Structure 1
Amino acid sequence: MPNPLNPRSKKDRIDALAASAGDPATTGSSGGGTVGGTTAVATIDDAGHVEETAGVSLFASAWSRLRRNPVFLIGLGITGAFVLLAIFAPWIAPHDPAARLLLDEIRPQSNPIPAAREGFPLGADNIGRDIFSRLIVGSRQTLLVGVMATFFGLVGGLTLGTIAGAFGGWVDSVVMRVVDVMLSIPSLLLAFSIAAIAARPSQWTVIIAIAVVQVPIFARLLRGSMLAQRASDHVLAARALGVKESAIVFRHMLPNSLGPVIVQSTLVVATSIIDAAALSFLGLGNPDDRKPEWGQMLGASQQFIYDHPALAVWPALCIIVVALGFTLMGESLREALDPKSRR
């Protein structure tokens, strides 16, 4: 048996392979090799040939990773359940959230808050309204505030970011200085100041206040993405071909810059829900408690926080879980679409 460590035996094996490669009896007339006892014939047409495979888009590739990501699936499950609950809330709630069904059982000194019982799994509030029904119906108002505030903030941010990223120069400087001033103020303080200006607080004052806070976040993110697109090859090629600037901005730069903004919007929904709850807790939300909202319920429970903490625990848990769902989904989506975060 030849010694594998002997250089001479290695040279002999190489020579034998070279001799067999040139033998027509083993390789065939056109060249090739023997595989499994059969002759493989290679032709000149096969040289440099690569088998074609179907391409995969960025979002298809991201979805293939997301559907195997347990963090994303948990966030998607929480968010989906919350959206379905908000849509069908009037039909799911067992009682009218404004009906004072247990008002007769309230005793200010001995029993200010009716306890849980059959048909009222979480009890009632200080005026006899079913807490469970109010939590279910309140999900609709909470979702409405979070989504509408994010939508208006997205529209405002897209407008400023597109102007700054498309024109550049002094226009970019002016827009970004305004954005920097807005970002220098704490978000909750800015939202509180805007909501306090309104002569009469309502749900729309909360939506507008939170939307204004979110505008600079979207504007700065989109502006950075569009500046990166300005120097890309396809934009330079479009300018060289004489394509109009408006077509370059809206057909080439803007569509390719929306990915990070869309991901950020899922994270902003969670922030909007928390900020809306904070403003409602401070009394700047909708004063009409016949339409319950989780932040409003949290603010109304503060006078009973020591003796009956459950009044504050239930809406607080709902806010935390929903915000967690949107955050998990948004972070997973950001990692799936970001090439630097792919594993």
Structure 2
Amino acid sequence: MNSAKKDRIDRLAATSGGTVAHAASATDVDAATGTTSAAPTTVADAGRVSGGEGVSLLASAWGRLRRNPLFLTGAAITTAFVVLALLSPWLAPHDPSAQLLYPEIRQQTNPIPAARPGFPLGADWFGRDLLSRLLVGSRQTLFVGVFATLGGLLGGLVLGILAGAFGGWVDALVMRIVDVMLSIPSLLMAFSIAAIFANPSQLTVIIAIAVVQIPVFARLLRGSMMAQRHSDHVLAARALGVKKAPIVFRHMLPNALGPVIVQATLVLAVAIIDAAALSFLGLGNPDDRIPEWGQMLGASQQYLAGYPHLAFYPAACIVVVALGFTFMGESLREALDPKTRR
């Protein structure tokens, strides 16, 4: 028995630089036990997890997103919308405020010029090219939606950080304010805020929608930061004597922003719809020389019975763009949330 053990130790010592098992054959018989050994395993492979190397959360989420048709559809719609909005001044075939066909309207009984070469969607009641107004209006819609979302995000970050970092009476006070704001329907609150201003404009629409979105971000960030307060890395930083500000801004906040950023894509779709609603109600920019989809939709109501296409085009643009951002947001939330992974 001692000789058999000595031979086994000698074999292991001789092969320690290359293989752990006997290198001569993949099916050697162990002299001590009489069992058959498995195929040789290199020292470099020892301890390596089978199935490949691990991937990060973002890489794993991207792997699921690029196979998700809902995300690809939303990304395509969103990308097309952003590109058209940014390039609209150069893509528009005519000046959106130029009344090019107005002389024809005055000479004929037909108040709305139909589609024709150079005017593929026709013109409105002032003879302005409808396609050019839709393209330029996309830029104004994107401008309002993005800045309203950013305003709500910044306000929500302030309240969420205060509630999630300090807790106690600060948390209770902030959450009661948030609860009061959430108890009022969002569109009604936005309408009330926009009606306060004497001169309606795009800025008033942005402010009204941003205030409405603040409690959404504040509540979500507060919940994420409360979960981070009891995590191991935060407890370790406190045990080492790290001050509260570095703990909040270096450890808690970066790890709590993921759900908030995902929510921003969903809120952007809501902001576009709310902005169109306020413009439809006459609380947006009153100057129709600068087109905006909600404004165009509201102004076309007097011609809805005879010329429904004037309302259909801006309404379809609003719905499609909102769906694009919604598809992206829902797909991102499913990809990043461990509870919804499939």
Structures share fold, TM-score greater than 0.5: yes
TM-score (ref. length: structure 1): 0.87
User: 2: CA distance between counterparts of 1:194 and 1:101?
Assistant: 37
1:51 Cα deviation from its structure 2 partner: 4.6
CA contact (8 A) 1:164 1:176 kept: yes
- The 3 A distance-change label for structure 1 pair 326 and 30 is farther
CA shift at 1:232, angstroms?
Answer: 1.1
Distance 1:105 1:282 in 2: 30
The aligned counterpart of 1:199 is: 198
Q: Which AA in structure 2 matches 1:27?
A: V
Q: What does 1:76-115 correspond to in 2, within 5 Å?
A: 76-107=75-106, 110-115=109-114
Aligned counterpart, 1:8 = none
Within the candidate set 33, 36, 39, 2:36 is matched to 33
TM-score computed with the length of structure 2 as normaliser: 0.88
Deviations along 1:5-64, one digit per CA (max 9) or x if unpaired, are xxxxxxxxxxxxxxxxxxxx94266987366xxxx4579x79973359644221111011
Structural mapping, 1:41-60, within 5 Å: 41=40, 49-51=47-49, 54-60=53-59
Counterpart in 1 of 2:4?
none
State whether structure 2 residue 140 is matched by structure 1 residue 141: yes
SS of the residue 1:325 aligns to? helix
Give the Cα–Cα distance (whole angstroms) in 1 for the partners of residues 230 and 41 of structure 2: 46
Count of matched residue positions in the alignment of Structure 1 and Structure 2: 315
Distance 1:329 1:42 in 2: 46
Comparing 104-113 and 251-260, the one that deviates more: 104-113
Say which SS state the counterpart of residue 27 (structure 1) adopts.
coil
1:104 to 1:56, Cα distance in 2 relative to 1, 3 A: same
Aligned residue runs from structure 1 range 218-297, under 5 A: 218-297=217-296
1:172-211 map, 5 Å: 172-211=171-210
Do the aligned residues in 2 keep the contact of 1:135 with 1:292 (CA within 8 Å)?
yes
Amino acid at match of 2:303: F
Where does the alignment leave 5 or more consecutive residues of structure 2 unmatched? 1-26
Cα displacement string for residues 141-187 of structure 1 (whole angstroms, at most 9, x for unaligned residues): 00000000000100000010000000000000000100011000000
Q: 1:65 to 1:107 in 2, by over 3 A?
A: same
- How far apart, in 2, do the equivalents of 1:188 and 1:41 lie? 69
Q: CA RMSD in A?
A: 2.2
Q: Distance in 2 between matches of 1:42 and 1:194?
A: 71
Within 2, Cα distance between the matches of 1:178 and 1:27? 76
Native 8 Å contact 1:221 1:260 kept in 2: yes
Rounded Cα–Cα distance in structure 2 between residues aligned with 1:299 and 1:311: 10
| Counterpart contact for 1:33–1:41, Cα < 8 Å | no
Question: What SS class does the counterpart of residue 36 from structure 2 fall into?
Answer: strand
> CA separation in 2, counterparts of 1:305 and 1:33?
86
**Percent of residue pairs bearing the same amino acid type:** 72
| Matching residue's letter, 2:65 | L
In 1: Cα distance, 2:151 partner to 2:89 partner: 26
Amino acid at match of 1:222: L
Tell me if 1:159 matches 2:158.
yes
Counterpart amino acid of residue 130 in structure 2: I
Pairwise CA distance, 1:238: 1.0
3-state SS of the aligned residue for 1:209?
Answer: helix
Structure 1 residues 41 and 150 mapped into 2: Cα distance closer, same or farther (>3 Å)? closer
Q: Deviations over 1:246-265 (max 9, x none)?
A: 11100111000001000000
CA distance in 1, matches of 2:107, 2:263: 47
Whether the aligned pair in 2 keeps the contact of 1:30 and 1:42 (CA below 8 Å) is: no
For the Cα contact (< 8 Å) 1:30–1:41, is it kept in 2? no
Once residues 28 and 225 of structure 2 are traced to their aligned partners in structure 1, the CA distance between those partners, rounded to angstroms, is: 61
What's 1:12 paired with? none
Match of 1:18 in 2: none
CA distance in 2, matches of 1:240, 1:291: 58
Task: Note the residue ranges of structure 1 that are not aligned, 5 or more in a row.
Answer: 1-24
CA deviation after TM superposition for structure 1 residue 236, in Å? 1.0
Tell me, in whole angstroms, the C-alpha distance in 2 between the residues paired with 1:29 and 1:46: 26
